[in-house]
Chains A and B, each alone.
Chain A
Amino acid sequence: MKFDTPAGTNPIDRMTVVGKPTPRIDGPLKVSGAAPYAYEHHDVPGKPAYGYVLGAAVAKGTIRSIDTARAQRAPGVLAVVTYRNAGKLGKGQMNTAKLLAGPDVQHYHQAVAVVVAETFEQARSAAAMIDVDYARTDGAFDLLAAKDGAKEQGGNDAPTAVGDFQGAFASSPVQLDQNYTTPDQSHAMMEPMATIAAWEGEKLTVWTSNQMVNWSLKDLAATLQMPVENVRLISPYIGGGFGGKLFLRSDALMASLGARAAKRPVKVALQRPLMANNATHRPSTIQRIRLGCGRDGKIAAIGHESWSGDLEGGGLEVAVQQTKLLYAGANRMTAMRLAVLDLPEGNAMRAPGEAPGLMALEIAMDEMAEKLGMDPVAFRVLNDTQVDPEKPDRAFSQRNLVRCLQDGATRFGWSRRKGPGQVRDGRWLVGMGVAAAFRNNLNMKSGARVRLDGQGTVTVETDMTDIGTGTYTIMAQTAAEMLGVPLAKVVVKLGDSSFPVSAGSGGQWGANSSTAGLYAACVKLREAIVEKLGFGPGEAVFEGGQVHVGNRSADIARAAKSGEIVAEDSIEFGDLDKKFQQSTFGAHFVEAAVDRYTGEARVRRMLAVCAAGRILNPTAARSQVIGAMTMGVGGALMEELAVDKRFGFFVNHDLAGYEVPVHADIPHQEVIFIDEADDKVSPMKAKGVGELGLCGVGAAVANAVYNATGVRVRDYPITLDKYLDRLGEVA
C-alpha cells in the first residue's frame, strides 16, 4: 500500500481497541520470567558452549602478537578465535569500526578474541590467559582540543542559512551568545548485548537482542561474507536498546565465529564492563547558541552551532536539528562540525540530535526569557511558528506546541513560580523549570503478514521488534480493530527475519510505521475474507467477530473453514513528509530542590504534555514518556562517560561508575497526551512518542535548578561540584 495522500476515514478511526489503555499482552510472560531473551533460548539445537570476549587494552595501535596457546590448553576450551583464524571478514554497512580488531586496533575494548569453552567459568578463566602484545599509537581523545580542526559535513548535515543572521544578531537590542556542553552518554540498557549462534552446514541462525532485524541480518551476512539467505536472525524479546542495539555488534559476530570454530552452538553475552567502550555511545557536544531578540521578545536571529567527534568515517551528533524548526525568526543559521576522535564509536542514542540539542537550546531560551523579563512559557509561545521557518510555504502537518505549553503551565501550577533563588523550603531551595519538547516524526517502509484460521484466530507475523515499547500490544490492537475480533483472538509473532521486513525500532518511527504496515496487510486480508465468503461488492464491516456486507453476515472464522487465509503487504510512504513538516511536540515541567548546604539536587515533580498524533495505547505510550523523562533526569544530573584523555577510553564503564537514575531519584511523574490524529502521517494517524519524551527534559531540570538557586550551569551533567561554591553564604 502506498501512502501518498492524507488518510480518510478508515476502520482504525472507530477506536474500539486502538487508543484504549491496554495492558501489555506480553506482560504476564515478562513478569513471570517466561519471556526468552537472547541468551535464554532453550530450543537451540545441541548444547551451546560459552563464549567470553576479550577487549583491546589500548585505544589505538596494532596487535604485535597474540599468544593463545595457554588459553587453548586450558580446561574445557574448545576454540579461541582472533583475527588470525577468523577468516576473511567484511564490515557491516552500519558499522563504523570493525567488530573484531586486528592487526589494527581502532578503539579501546574493541573485541580482540573470543574464547569458547564448555562452561562460562572456563571461558572466562581462559580469556585471562591470552597474552596480547600491543604497539600503542597516539590518538585524539579530547573534543575540545580537536574542535578547531573539526570539519563541516555535506548533505543533510551541511550548514544552513536563511536571511542575514550576522546582521540581524548584531542589531538585536537583546542578545544571548553562550556555549554549552553535553557529555558522552551510554545507553546502559539492562540486558547486555547477547547472542546464541548455531551453524547447520552453511546456514547460520542467531538468537540475538537487536532493534533492527533486517539491518543486522544484512550486516552479519556482509561481515561473514556469506549470502544473506543463509542467515536467520531471531530477536523476539529485547532487554532495552535505546539505539545501542540498532546495529550488528560484536556479540553476534563473536558468537558466530566461535560457533563455526567450535562446531557447536555458542552463546555470548558481552560482559558489562565491556559495554561502554566496545559498543556505541552518544557523542559529547560543544554547542554555541546565539539568539537576537527585539524588546517585544520576538526572535530576529537564531543561530546554533555544534561540534562533536567520532572515529574516522563516523558521523555527527546532529544537535542543531530541532533549531531549524522549533521557533520562528527571519534570520537563521545552523552549522555542525565533526572532529576525528579515537574514542569508541559514536552513534545513535535515543533522540539522537534533539536530546543533546534541546539540552542546550532550551537553556538558552530560558536565559533569553530572563534577559527580556518575560515568562519562559510566554516567550516560547510568542515565538511559535506554524510553518517550517526555513521554508515558510511548508506547513507543519499538525503542531500543538502552544497548547502543550499552556495546558502544562496550568496543570503544573506554573503561575506560582517565583524569581531565581526566591523559594525556600527549610534547607531546600526550590524552583520550577520548563522546556519545549520537539522531535521529528519519521516514517519507514514496513511489512507484515496476517493469517486467519478456522477458529477465528488472527496471527500477525513481522520482523518488527518490541524493545519495551509495547509493539506486541499495539500490533494486536491494530489487527483486532481492523478485523473486528477481540484482542484475545490475536497472536503476535515478532523479531524473526523469516517474517516480512518491517520498519524496526528506532527513531521513534516503530509504532506508527509498523502498525501502518499491519494495517495494509489487514486491508488485504479483509478483501480476501469478503471474497472467500462470496459477499460480493459493498462496504464490509468487521465487528464483533462478524463480517457484514449489506444485509449479509457471517462469523469471520467461517471464511477460513476450508483453510487458512494469508495476506501480506507493506506500507510505503510517498512525499507527504516533503509537503508537510511532520514533527512531534511537547512541554516538560519540572520542580527541583537543591540543598543549600550540600548542593544536592532532587527532582520533586515532573509533568510532560505531548502532542504526537493518535496515541495507539495510552498505557504503553505513557510508560515510554515517563521512562524518557527518567533518562532525561539522568542526563541532567548524573550521566557522563568520563574520558581518560591520556589513554582514550571511558573510565566509568560499568553500572556502578556510570550513574543512571534509581528509584529514589524519581518522583511520581505525570503525562498528558493532547487528543490528536494526524492524517498526513499514515492511516494510523499516529506519530512517535518514545524519543519525544526525552527531548527537553534535561533543560527543564537545568532550568528548575537555576530557578531554585540562581546559579546557571551550562555544562552537563549538573553536578554539585559545578555550582556548590556559588550557592552563596548559608546562615
Chain B
Amino acid sequence: MTQGCGAISRRDVLKTSAAGAAIAGSLGTGSVAMAQAEPNAPPTAAVRMKVNGKQTSLTLDTRTTLLDALREHLKLTGTKKGCDHGQCGACTVIVNGRRINSCLTLAVMHEGDEVTTIEGLGTVGDLHPMQAAFVEHDGFQCGYCTPGQICSAVAVLEEIRAGIPSHVTEDIGAAPGMTTLEMRERMSGNICRCGAYSNIAEAMAQVAGVKA
C-alpha cells in the first residue's frame, strides 16, 4: 500500500509546476538512490508556507501532518500534540485567517498558505492582548492546551465579528452576538482538563470588550 500510494504521490507532485520545481531543487541523487535501495522508502514532497510571517521551505515525508511539520521540522513546539486525532484542540493554529486542527491536515496540503502559531501571535516580551488576558485571568494551569486555546480564542472573536453563526446562534440570519454563550460554544473543541474554562471566558470577554 505504501508503495502504491508513493508512486502516485510522486508522480502527482511532479506534475504540479511550483511543487515540482521545488522538489527538483531539493531532491538530490542521494534521495533517488535511497528510493532504489529501499523500494518502500516513503515519498517526500516539498512545501512552502509562510509561517508566522516567515517564508519556509520544507521537504517532508508526505505523511507528515502540519502539526509535526511545525513541531518537529520547524521546532515551533508551542503548538501542542494532545491527541493527534482532532479530538482535543491543543494543536489549533490559524491558517489563512481560520483556525484548524493542525494534526488533521497534512503539511503538503498547505503549499502557499499563511500559518500563524502561538509563537506568531506574541512573544514572552511582547504578548498578544489575548495572551496577556490569559495571564491576567489565570486562564490556564498546566499550560499544555493553552496555545491552542489562545489561537482558537483569537480566531473565535474574528468569526463572531465576521457574522459566522454557531449552534447557539438563535437567528442565523442576524449577526451573532459577542456573548460568552457564543464564545463558550465555539471554544468547545478546545479541551482544558485542568478546567480553566471559567477564567478563559473572562479573558476572552475582556479582549472582546464585553462583560463575562
Contacts and interface: CB of A to CB of B under 8 A. Distances in A.
Interface of A: 23-24, 26-37, 39-40, 42, 74-76, 119-122, 125, 187-192, 237-242, 269, 271-273, 467-470, 619-620, 622-624, 626-631, 654-656, 660-669
B191 A660 contact: yes
Contacts, number: 212
Contacts of A42: 75, 77
A629 B195 contact: yes
Nearest first, the 5 closest Cβ-Cβ pairs linking A and B are A33-B78, A630-B195, A239-B144, A468-B141, A468-B142
17 contacts: A30-B140, A31-B134, A32-B122, A33-B118, A33-B147, A39-B81, A120-B72, A190-B88, A191-B144, A237-B142, A240-B194, A468-B140, A468-B141, A469-B141, A624-B141, A629-B195, A668-B212
A256 to B, nearest CB: 21
A237 B143 CA distance: 9
Nearest to A27: B135
B80 interface: yes
Contacts of B85: 272-273, 654-656
A668 B83 CA distance: 27
Contacts of A664: 168, 184-185, 187-188
A664 B166 CA distance: 12
Interface stretch (B21-29, B35-43, B171-179): B35-43
A351 B141 CA distance: 18
Interface string B184-212: 11011111111111111100000000001
A654 B188 CA distance: 17
**Which residue, B138, B191, B195, B212, has most C-beta atoms of chain A within 10 A?**
B195
Interface in B130-185: 131-132, 134-136, 138, 140-147, 150, 168, 183-185
Interface in B72-121: 72, 75-85, 87-88, 90, 117-119, 121
Contacts of B2: 125
Contacts of B134: 27, 31
B198 A33 contact: no
A595 to B, nearest CB: 15
B149 to A, nearest CB: 9
Contact of B135 (A24, A121, A272, A669): A24
From B38, B88, B119, residue with most partner A Cβ within 10 Å: B88
Interface string B55-85: 0000001011000100110011111111111
B129 to A, nearest CB: 11
Contact of A623 (B42, B150, B185, B196): B196
A239 B192 CA distance: 10
A187 B142 CA distance: 14
A22 B121 CA distance: 24
Contacts of A273: 85
A423 B196 CA distance: 30
A343 B53 CA distance: 50
B195 A628 contact: yes
A272 B67 CA distance: 15
Contacts of B79: 33
Nearest to B63: A121
B142 A239 contact: yes
A669 B76 CA distance: 34
Nearest to A632: B195
B61 to A, nearest CB: 5
Contact of B192 (A30, A32, A190, A667): A190
B191 A31 contact: no
Given A27-B138, A272-B85, 5 more contacts: A28-B131, A468-B142, A655-B83, A662-B197, A666-B195
Given A240-B142, A619-B138, A75 B41 contact: yes
A91 B196 CA distance: 36
Contacts of A31: 118, 122, 127, 131-132, 134-135, 140, 143, 146-147, 150
Contacts of A654: 83, 85, 87
Contact of A191 (B42, B75, B80, B118): B80
B33 interface: no
B188 A190 contact: no
A628 B194 CA distance: 7
Contact of A37 (B38, B119, B144, B196): B144
Q: Which of B82, B87, B122 has the most chain A CB atoms closer than 10 A to its own CB?
A: B82
Q: With a 10 A CB-CB cut-off, give which of A32, A121, A619 has the most chain B CB atoms.
A: A32
Contacts of A242: 193
A32 B196 contact: no
Nearest to B134: A31
Interface of B: 2, 38, 40-42, 61, 63-64, 68, 71-72, 75-85, 87-88, 90, 117-119, 121-124, 127, 131-132, 134-136, 138, 140-147, 150, 168, 183-185, 187-201, 212
Nearest to A628: B195
A693 B138 CA distance: 17
A239 B148 CA distance: 13
Contacts of B63: 121, 125
Contact of A627 (B81, B123, B147, B195): B195
A187 B2 CA distance: 36
A469 B38 CA distance: 49
Contacts of A26: 143
A23 B136 contact: yes
A467 B82 contact: no
Contacts of A188: 193
B64 A121 contact: yes
Contact of A75 (B38, B117, B136, B212): B38
A626 to B, nearest CB: 5
A42 B121 CA distance: 21
A663 B142 contact: no
B82 A190 contact: yes
Contact of B87 (A39, A622, A656, A665): A656
Contacts of B144: 37, 189-191, 239-240
B197 A666 contact: yes
A42 B78 CA distance: 12
B143 A239 contact: yes
A33 B117 contact: yes
A626 B198 contact: yes
A29 B191 contact: no
A661 B195 contact: yes
B83 to A, nearest CB: 4
Given A23-B135, A27-B135, A668-B198, A662 B77 contact: no
A121 B198 CA distance: 38
Residue picked from A190, A663, A669, most chain B C-beta under 10 Å: A663
Contacts of A627: 141, 194-196
Contact of B193 (A24, A39, A660): A660
B77 A36 contact: yes
B187 to A, nearest CB: 4
A121 B138 contact: no
A668 B180 CA distance: 10
Contacts of B200: 663
B178 to A, nearest CB: 16
B82 A40 contact: no
A47 to B, nearest CB: 11
A631 B195 contact: yes
A271 B132 CA distance: 32
A655 B138 contact: no
Contacts of B193: 187-190, 240, 242, 631, 660
A29 B76 CA distance: 14
Nearest to B90: A190
A718 to B, nearest CB: 19
Contacts of B81: 39, 192, 269
